[in-house]
Amino acid sequence: MPRGDLLADELKKTGAIRFGDFTLCSGKKSNIYIDIKIACTHPELLELISNKI
């Protein structure tokens, strides 16, 4: 499985990704939100995210 697919699957499985209308701290709008607080409680997910950065 490609790494990007694994990341997406883990984000969904852990509930760290949300879809909707969000206003970010910067004031910008987004229809996707990744809750890093949730991601931080899942070491494997955090590793996948950090490898993408």
Distance set, CA 25 to CA 7, 40, 46 (Å): 24, 19, 22
DSSP of 17-40, one letter per residue? EEEEEEE-TTS-EEEEEE-HHHHT
pLDDT of residue 3: 59
pLDDT one-digit tens code per residue, 3-50 = 568 999 999 999 999 999 999 999 999 999 999 999 999 999 999 999
pTM for this one? 0.75
pLDDT of residue 45: 95
